Amino acid sequence: MQAIEINGLRKLYGTKVALEGLTLQVAQGEIFGFLGPNGAGKTTTLKILVGLIAPSAGEALIFGRSPRERAVRRRIGFLPEHFRFQDWLSGSELLSYYGHLCGMGAAQRQARIPTVLALVGLDGHGDKRVRAYSKGMQQRLGIAQALLSQPDLILLDEPTSALDPLGRKEVRDLLRRLRDEGVTVFLNSHLLGEIELVCDRVAIIDKGRVVREGPLKRLLQGEHELRITLDRIDGEVLAALAAFGEVRQVDGRTLALQVPDVGAAPRVARCLMEKGYDIYGLTPLHQSLEEIFAQAIKGGDGWSS
């Protein structure tokens, strides 16, 4: 059984199409990155997954059941991008309030709250009023409330946006720990570097549909590039390099050669030297998630790996 299964999801707001045939699956016990530009349909998808709104067509299932069922929602932890807490409460009081809403008993809340505060780096701050928390501390508190009921699935919308680099690393470590314990993490973030560091698989959506999806390692290994600087660039060298891949860019005496494998670099170097070219630089480059994202959105062809 998948943690999340979305089939042909469509959502209309009047005449505006927010989702159009969105289909994807998220396996149990993985960290899944959900990416897309503003207006792509990410927030709408999250609202459907937590049962706040119903789709116009298609279906979304959480552990094989509708997210509108109360028993299913009890298995979900959720941190929205924009949240506002009752800032007159202390951190511990706020978590106790949310725990009560989740159906946790008083003894269970009392035992669990210090644990989650420590998990998110707020140990010793539970008695402080939320209004005295910094923005980063409030972000940590939001993650704590998502973890409070020990959910099987955690939906996080921009969880590290207010954190400093150390805080982001701590959250990444926490997410990996949760995955190792069998928790599924569905992560929406504009910080592609964070996604690249922590996710097992990603889906990129645009205009309400998936345009790129697959294991992150496979996507990042899909294309490689050699950045080559020579004493000169002419028609002969371009023809020679075409046997190894596609020359994508020429800038002065430097060019970018797309190759299927950076292991081609020694063969390229030998070919250039045999033809009498002086090599001033030959650097293998790997495609970043940011580059993959930009190409997927620009192309919009809808293909997966």
> Cβ neighbours of residue 141 under 8 Å, at least 6 residues apart?
85, 91, 94, 95, 120, 122, 130, 133
Looking at residue 302, its pLDDT comes to 43
Looking at residue 301, its pLDDT comes to 47
Taking only the tens of pLDDT, the chain with its 305 residues reads 899 999 999 999 999 999 999 999 999 999 999 999 988 999 999 999 999 999 999 999 999 999 999 999 999 999 988 888 899 999 999 999 999 998 899 999 999 999 999 999 999 999 999 999 998 899 999 999 999 999 999 999 888 877 888 888 988 999 999 999 999 999 998 888 888 899 999 999 999 999 999 898 878 776 678 899 999 999 999 999 999 988 877 888 999 888 877 788 899 999 999 999 999 999 887 777 888 888 888 765 444 44
Domains and CATH numbers, the chain: 4-214 (3.40.50.300), 223-286 (3.30.70.1560)
Looking at residue 303, its pLDDT comes to 41
> Cβ neighbours of residue 36 under 8 Å, at least 6 residues apart?
42, 204, 205, 206, 297
